Structure 1
Amino acid sequence: MHNKNNITEKIYWVGTNDRRTHIFENYWPLPKGVAYNSYVIVDEKVAIVDTVEKGTMDEYLDNIEEVLDGRKADYLIVNHMEPDHSGSIRSLVERYPEMKIVGNKKTFPMLERYYGVKDNLMEVREGDSIDLGEHKLNFYMVPMLHWPETMVTFESNNGILFSGDAFGAFGTLDGGIFDDELDLDYLEEEISRYYSNIVGKYGRPTQNALKKLGGLEIKMICATHGPIWRTHIADIVAKYDKWSQYKTDEGCVIVYSSMYGNTEKMADNIARHLVKKGIKKIRIHDSSKTHPSYIINDIFRYRGVILGSCAYNGDVFPTMETLINELEHMGVKDHVLGVFGSKSWGGGGLKRLNKFAENIKWETIEVTPEALCAPGQEDFDQCEALADGMAKRLKELYS
């Protein structure tokens, strides 16, 4: 670390930046990398809050030793057991064998099954606290944000919320660690893409957590990824409140799957007519090119969603199938949906999209264009009717 990263006089960031990993959880692209945040509180007792992914463990252990300067850790607070935050626990236990591991009753079975660790456990329940000296740690359970054992730790003397994955972001911490030291415009998409894809399924638990923590006087939020929030706390909390209620803006996300460009022509035609009807915020994605995480991020942002697929082996195109499966699993709510497709003989793409429309239970536009081979004038007329229906509904919702 070479210089200590103080959050306060006695609390330190000892996390790591990972610019080598290309995909997070072996699925989500990381074009701007990711940070693993861990924290050390140095008081009469020493507490480490969360750890880092094992790939950056050597640097992490050096960071801790530099801060502790020969002292031992008394407590390890485990807010969340996902391996990108628990991956260094076994090494810490070996280094500080007398350290008490603090978690809740759902933490410890995972701890044993992942790492074989079952000694020196200290169970905490809702509202329990630990005094370190000047610092007091208070524990609150936030189940399914986004795992069942998840909890948060509030250091009440400084008003610091150690929030686990809540309020996190993709992207490394380049030079600074605080929100007001970093270019938040550069990280904006990584903040919302992180929420929509990692936390997005859990809107209700997020709302429950926001209500539970709403009475705390929070002066700083220390998540396990992304910036430490101290200047824009109200902004990030407001975003989580909006996103977790599935509130969206006027606009339309069009996603198509096309082998030879015919379905793409229909997508462009739909977009053109949406613009003519006054819908300016339009995002068009080719499902074969754009990773679902970016598409889902846009879907969390805009109310209208129009999906189109060619037929492929009598079914929907594989990359579109991946997207709609993910949307179904995530249970994304409260959108207006349109579907279209093309086929050369038996079809299948539109049939599967219609099934998706039934499953997802969004409001739907009734017009469902399906071109035979290349789209002709009749098909473009249908595309225009679909666009008209979507634009009319969006204008009704946002006027």
Structure 2
Amino acid sequence: MATLAASKMRPVFPATPLMRNVLLSERYQADIWLKREDLSPVRSYKLRGAFNAMRKVIPEKSLFVCASAGNHAQGVAFMCKHFGVKGVIFMPVTTPEQKILKTRMFGGDSVEVRLIGDYFDASLAAAQTFCAAEGGHFLSPFDDEDVIEGQASVAVEIEQELGRVPDHIVLPVGGGGISAGTRGYFGDACRYTLVEPTGAQSLARALEEGAPVDVSPIDSFVDGAAVAKIGVRTFERLKSVDPADVIALDEDRICCTIIEMLNVEGIVLEPAGAMAIEALGEVADQIRGKTVVCIASGGNFDFERLPEVKERAQRYAGLKKYFILRLPQRPGALRDFLDMLGPHDNITRFEYMKKSARNFGSVLIGIETDAPENFPAMFERIDGAGFTYTDITNDETLAQFVI
């Protein structure tokens, strides 16, 4: 059925390219390919499931309803315009304006966007209530048989473009739609690595408990995969996965791949779209000499987030640190501290936090360097000079207030 779904899509949009990546292939001594879902018309795979689910109920249904703060909304909007049907999309009030504008752009006059609630749960409840009252067709972002079948078209294209089933597939997991569809299509013909963000490990917890469980509160940074509870239907297809094949990646670590892919390869990926690539480092021994496909699930990246992404990547890589320095209030104290810095250490932030102290002042300092091994030597010099400081780089509670 996934093969049929894929063939039905072709008049609507072309298959996304499967591209061999030389950088990654050489790094991991494997034949590594990227399935570029970031190059779909809506820059993610989500329009596949929307298309497949909608085509099966048109013309009986002409009103489609969904709740989404991102890629699913854009996929539904694109398909509503294509099919010439009405769509009502509920989004949280806090959704970035860029995503709202893109959803309206893809849907045109066919789509109405309603901003309801501060969080997704409120938008979802409003959407389901509206849908039931109006007799519309609710389009789940992942927990729907037709949506899962539509997402499986990614696997169909991989086999067609590669000419065979790959040895290993690495793909992200949020609600489980694309992972369930891919695994349902390829079965046991290849090995899988399923990747979740550390702040939203819904599949790992479901495998522990034997059923989907709510893992709230979650970290929403990897918004394309930050799902508090994996779908019931998707988990049915994933429940036999070996827990050892499910890995979690720190959100800051994912930022390293976003920056590298942008700077080196010129590929714009959202956090969820970068997860499969970053995960290669976790399975390097398994994939050596193998043909591997990483699913780059999306590229809807708001460039206003780039400074944050760069910051998080530098902190994870050990190239940037923040600390609070207790600076003596005497002439020359600041110059003495500056003498402790090496030739590649740059101050990126300097802010007095207490300006009324008579003997000492607290200073927030951010320092960036070009190699992580520069910091131990710098701190050794500072310690030797008798300065007192507190490293707050990894203190998330404190950092969110002062950094």
TM-score category (smaller protein): 0.3 to 0.5
The structure whose residues are more often helix, as a share, is: 2
Query: TM-score, normalising length from structure 1?
Result: 0.36
Higher relative contact order (CA 8 A, sep 6+): 2
The structure with the greater share of residues assigned to strand is 1
